[in-house]
Structure 1
Amino acid sequence: MSLRSGNASDYYDFLNQLETALCSEGHAWGLLYAGAGNGTLIGTDGAAGGYLGGSGSVAEAFTVTALDTQRFQVVGALAGDLGVATVGRPFEHERLRFRINAGSTAFAVGDRFTLNTSPPWTLVRRWGVRNPTFRTGNFTNLSALFDNAMDTWGTRAVADLPATAGIEMIGSAAVRAITMGIGDSGARGAAAFELQRSDDGAAWSPVQAWSGVRWPSARARQTFLVTANSPAARLWRVVFSATNGATPLDCNDLSFHTDVNADFELEDRAQWIVKAPGLDGRQSIFIGAELFEDPARAAYNLNWYGFRSHNPLLSLRTQVNNSGLRHLPLRNGPFAYWLAINGQRVVIVARIGTVYVSAYLGFATAYEPPSIHEYPLIVGACGSAESGTPDTTDANFRSFFDPGRFGLAANYPDNVWRLHCNRYAQGANDYGDTDYAKVYPSAVSTGGDRAYLRDNLDGSSPLFPLILGSSSPRHPWGEFDGCAWTTGFSTASESRIEHDGATWLAFQNAFRISPDNYFALKMD
């Protein structure tokens, strides 16, 4: 699979890096090898599991066959002959990128690697405002323009006009309407104003102007349609130039709409949605995150949702039959991360100080065929509190492979989301949860039995499938893709586990370091 690791300067930078990793190129997966040599196929940067698709990747199978000890022919099922890869040198193509390293035993003619690619993910939505500091203007009491309250308003003396109020979004969107409200006097309501757009906050372009606007009553609101066909932009503002004769200018509401029928406004909390193509390139797997910032709590979160179909008129949290919120607490500072990506899911691990947070987002391996289980989507992270922080220490703050309440939701064949909870917090105590579906063998913990699962007799680390299942109704769901339960005996976070020709990375369950609180992420 496409494995990436790196460092983010903060949680927002991480989102940008995640988007680039998902959407800028295709992804490779399913590496197998047969032959006499014991070399490896790795990423062009030398990272195990770092082989990647490219900007032109599609759903395609590849064979990489040895011509001699140093050269391999690369052939795609659709693309045909892509050329020759030389051992020890990067192979770069818009369909596939990798490097073959020699081992202690030389390759022989006919040795063969096989692998697959899938297309890039698609960015569906990226707009909204990170936090109130990105709502700007020169009104006194500016926040009143964006608080959705009728009894508060911002002001600007007529002598000091023009007044401005606007937003800076995390991405570009077209504004098709604005809504404006006034205070207690129609005479102090805006009579003339102009909508403007900008890509950089320095150069502003006029979009549409209104004049002679009247207000029928105090605290009235009006929506003004934008008939000009202006392109999308990241920054928008309204410039107010006149009142209806009185001073000061009062404005109690300002909203920006990409569609007047939508149930959200562009000045609201930032939303980010992507669509995964599936391993066959023909799926539409929707995953999205809301950005949550609360500096007073040191909360900087990506709050995840999954859903089966995307309605552009609905906010992320009101999409039909969505999974509900699963939060991934990050921070407003540097941290290391790992991403394991293919065409149907991404696994995220981030190291926040000494805490490892993780998320599983996308399809997993269902036990029923697609004709029965059409949409095996999992959204799992660290909990369901949108304001959670990585320094939390209660039983509900856990990793997706051993979820607390309510850290993981899975879509079942009946299209119902069911919560999976192994443990829960009651006061300062940690209890096994008997009320919800489970993830095994992580759930084997209420009597301490999981502690007996330790390293193998030869000192190697075991890898057990992580199995999801429900007892009400009784239904074995399936397994996580590329993830396994392992033991912390003789293993620490970021340790490598070699198993059946593949490399795995071990990670702990949030802040927990007892041997029964680890899982492994497959790098190949």
Structure 2
Amino acid sequence: MTLRTGIASDYYDFLNQLESALCRKGHAWGLLYAGAGNGSLTDVDGGVGGYRGGAVSVAEAFTVTALDAQRFQVIGALAGDLGVATVGQPFEHERLRFRVNAGSTAFAAGDRFTLNTSPPWTLVRRWGVRNPNFRTGNFASQSALFDNAMDTSGTRAVADLPAIAGIEMIGPASVRAVTMGIGDSSARGAAAFELQRSDDGAVWTPVQAWSGVRWPSARARQTFMVTGNSPAARFWRVVFSAANGATPLECNDLSFQTDVNADFELEDRAQWIVKAPGLDGRQSIFIGAELFEDPARAAYNLNWYGFRSLNPLLSLRTQVNNSGLRQLPLRNGPFAYWLAVNGQRVVIVARIGTVYVSAYLGYATAYEPPSIHEYPLVIGACGSTENGTPDATDANFRGFFDPGRYGLAANYPDNLWRMHCNRYASGANDYGDSETFGKVYPSAMSTSGDRAYLRDNLDGSSPLFPLILGTAQPRHSWGEFDGCAWTTVTGLR
């Protein structure tokens, strides 16, 4: 499968690197081998696992067959002959990337690797504002324009016009309407203003201007539709050039909208949504994250959701039948991370100081066939509060493979999300959770969430146990995490 390691400069940079890993190239999975040699197939740099798809990967099966001890023929079920891979040298194609490494026993003609690829993930939505510092302008009490309160106003003296208020988003979107409200006097409401866009925050392009605007009463609100189809941009602002006579100019609300029927506005908190294609390339697996920043708490989080279908008029957190929030606390500074990706899920591990945090996002391997379990989506991370931090000591702050309350949600065949919790916090202690019926085994060996007592193999090696999801009410064995296992050494591999 696609394995990626890296260093993120902060949590936002990590999101960018995650998006690149998921969406820019396809992914590989399902490596099998049969033959006399004991070499390996790895990433192009020789790292364990990590063979990858390429920029134009599709759902496709490949055979990599030895011609002799040093050469392998690479055949794609759809692409046909991709050429010959040489042992010890990277094989790089726009559909597939890997390296065959020699072992202590030489390969022989006919030795064969088989593997599969899936297409890249698709970026569906990337907009909104990271934090209030990305809502800019020269109004006095600037924050009042974006606080959704009608009794607070931003002001600027008429003699000091123009007044400017704008946003910088995490990604481009098109503004189709602007809504604004005024304060205590219609005479201090805006009479003329212009909507402008920018790709870099430096060079601005006019989109549409309004003049002769009148306000019927104090604290009125009006929506101004953009008549053209303006290109998407990351930066948007309104430049106010005149009030209705009195000073100062007042504005108590300003919203940028991509659709007036949507339940969100572009100056709201940032949201990011991707769609995984599944291993067969024909699925629509939706996962998304809200960005959460609270510098006072040193909280810089990606808060994850999953849902079965995407309504473009709904925010991430209001999508129908969503999983609810699962929190992955990161930091506003450098940290190391590891990704394991295929066409249906991504596993994230990050090291924040001395703490490892993790998330499992996407399909797991259900025991029922797709005709019975149509959408086996799992969203698991470290907890269910949006403002958690990596230094939390509460026992509910755990990993998806041994979840606390409530770090893991799984979608069942009846299309209901059920929580899974092995342990819960009580004061400074943690106990097996006997109230939450969903569990992950073997880290919980009973329905009460009691811990597993597992030993090494008799030869001292570490066993790998499947991580099994299930619930006692209704009694149902859900399935297993894809590509994850429990071991006596690290707890997760």
The TM tier, using the shorter chain, reads: over 0.9
1:428 correspondence with 2:425: no
Structure 2 equivalent of residue 474 of structure 1: 475
Give the Å deviation of 1:435: 1.5
Structure 1 equivalent of residue 219 of structure 2: 219
Secondary structure of residue in 1 paired with 2:492: strand
Structure 1 equivalent of residue 163 of structure 2: 163
Give distance in 2, aligned partners of 1:305 and 1:292.
Answer: 13
Matches within 5 A, 1:168-187: 168-187=168-187
Matches within 5 A, 1:64-463: 64-436=64-436, 437-444=438-445, 450=451, 452-463=453-464
- For the 8 Å contact 2:434–2:447, the answer to whether it is kept is no
1:336 maps to a residue whose letter is A
Secondary structure of residue in 2 paired with 1:438: strand
Change in 2 beyond 3 A, CA 1:222/1:191: same
Secondary structure of residue in 2 paired with 1:16: helix
Give the Å deviation of 1:119: 0.3
Structure 1 equivalent of residue 51 of structure 2: 51
Worse-matched range after superposition: 441-450 or 122-131: 441-450
Question: What is the number of equivalent residue pairs in this alignment?
Answer: 492
Give distance in 1, aligned partners of 2:453 and 2:141.
Answer: 61
String of CA shifts for 1:317-353, please: whole Å, max 9, x gaps.
0000000000000000111111000000000000111
- For the 8 Å contact 2:26–2:57, the answer to whether it is kept is yes
Secondary structure of residue in 2 paired with 1:452: coil
1:476 maps to a residue whose letter is S
Give distance in 2, aligned partners of 1:234 and 1:121.
Answer: 22
Give distance in 2, aligned partners of 1:129 and 1:396.
Answer: 29
Give distance in 2, aligned partners of 1:376 and 1:435.
Answer: 23
String of CA shifts for 1:471-514, please: whole Å, max 9, x gaps.
111111011001111113xxxxxxxxxxxxxxxxx4xxxxxxxx
- For the 8 Å contact 1:35–1:111, the answer to whether it is kept is yes
Give distance in 1, aligned partners of 2:98 and 2:263.
Answer: 45
1:121 maps to a residue whose letter is W
- For the 8 Å contact 2:22–2:341, the answer to whether it is kept is yes
1:24 correspondence with 2:24: yes
1:519 correspondence with 2:475: no
Give distance in 1, aligned partners of 2:190 and 2:307.
Answer: 41
Give distance in 1, aligned partners of 2:287 and 2:236.
Answer: 27
1:391 maps to a residue whose letter is D
String of CA shifts for 1:262-292, please: whole Å, max 9, x gaps.
0000000000000000000000000000000
Give distance in 2, aligned partners of 1:454 and 1:329.
Answer: 31
Give distance in 2, aligned partners of 1:3 and 1:228.
Answer: 44
Give distance in 1, aligned partners of 2:479 and 2:149.
Answer: 48
Structure 2 length normalisation: TM-score? 0.98
String of CA shifts for 1:397-441, please: whole Å, max 9, x gaps.
000001110100000000000000111112222111112211111
Give distance in 1, aligned partners of 2:218 and 2:382.
Answer: 47
String of CA shifts for 1:104-133, please: whole Å, max 9, x gaps.
211111111100000000000000000000
Give the Å deviation of 1:443: 1.1
Give distance in 1, aligned partners of 2:260 and 2:423.
Answer: 44
Give the Å deviation of 1:89: 1.1
Worse-matched range after superposition: 87-96 or 376-385: 87-96
String of CA shifts for 1:54-87, please: whole Å, max 9, x gaps.
1110000000001111111000001000011111
Give the Å deviation of 1:469: 0.6
- For the 8 Å contact 2:358–2:381, the answer to whether it is kept is yes
Structure 2 equivalent of residue 502 of structure 1: none
Change in 2 beyond 3 A, CA 1:151/1:447: closer
Give the Å deviation of 1:39: 1.2
Give the Å deviation of 1:46: 2.0
- For the 8 Å contact 2:136–2:167, the answer to whether it is kept is yes
Secondary structure of residue in 1 paired with 2:357: strand
Matches within 5 A, 1:480-491: 480-488=481-489
- For the 8 Å contact 2:443–2:452, the answer to whether it is kept is no
String of CA shifts for 1:233-290, please: whole Å, max 9, x gaps.
0000000000001111100000000000000000000000000000000000000000
Give distance in 2, aligned partners of 1:133 and 1:410.
Answer: 36
Secondary structure of residue in 2 paired with 1:38: coil
Change in 2 beyond 3 A, CA 1:474/1:326: same
Secondary structure of residue in 2 paired with 1:519: coil
Give distance in 1, aligned partners of 2:6 and 2:46.
Answer: 14
1:46 maps to a residue whose letter is G
- For the 8 Å contact 2:447–2:472, the answer to whether it is kept is no
Q: Provide the aligned C-alpha RMSD in A.
A: 1.2
2:379 maps to a residue whose letter is V
Gapped runs of 5+ residues in structure 2? none
Give the Å deviation of 1:449: 6.9
Give the Å deviation of 1:457: 1.4
Give the Å deviation of 1:211: 0.2
Secondary structure of residue in 1 paired with 2:48: coil
Give distance in 2, aligned partners of 1:257 and 1:371.
Answer: 40
Secondary structure of residue in 1 paired with 2:392: coil
- For the 8 Å contact 1:431–1:446, the answer to whether it is kept is no
Percent identity between the two aligned chains = 86
1:464 maps to a residue whose letter is F
Give distance in 2, aligned partners of 1:448 and 1:345.
Answer: 26
1:200 maps to a residue whose letter is D
- For the 8 Å contact 2:32–2:114, the answer to whether it is kept is yes
Give the Å deviation of 1:223: 0.4
Give the Å deviation of 1:446: 9.3
Worse-matched range after superposition: 321-330 or 105-114: 105-114
Change in 2 beyond 3 A, CA 1:354/1:445: farther
String of CA shifts for 1:349-376, please: whole Å, max 9, x gaps.
0011111100000000101000000000
Give the Å deviation of 1:452: 3.0
Give distance in 2, aligned partners of 1:474 and 1:449.
Answer: 18
Secondary structure of residue in 2 paired with 1:482: strand
Give distance in 2, aligned partners of 1:291 and 1:17.
Answer: 15
1:467 maps to a residue whose letter is I
Give distance in 2, aligned partners of 1:56 and 1:302.
Answer: 29
Structure 1 length normalisation: TM-score? 0.93
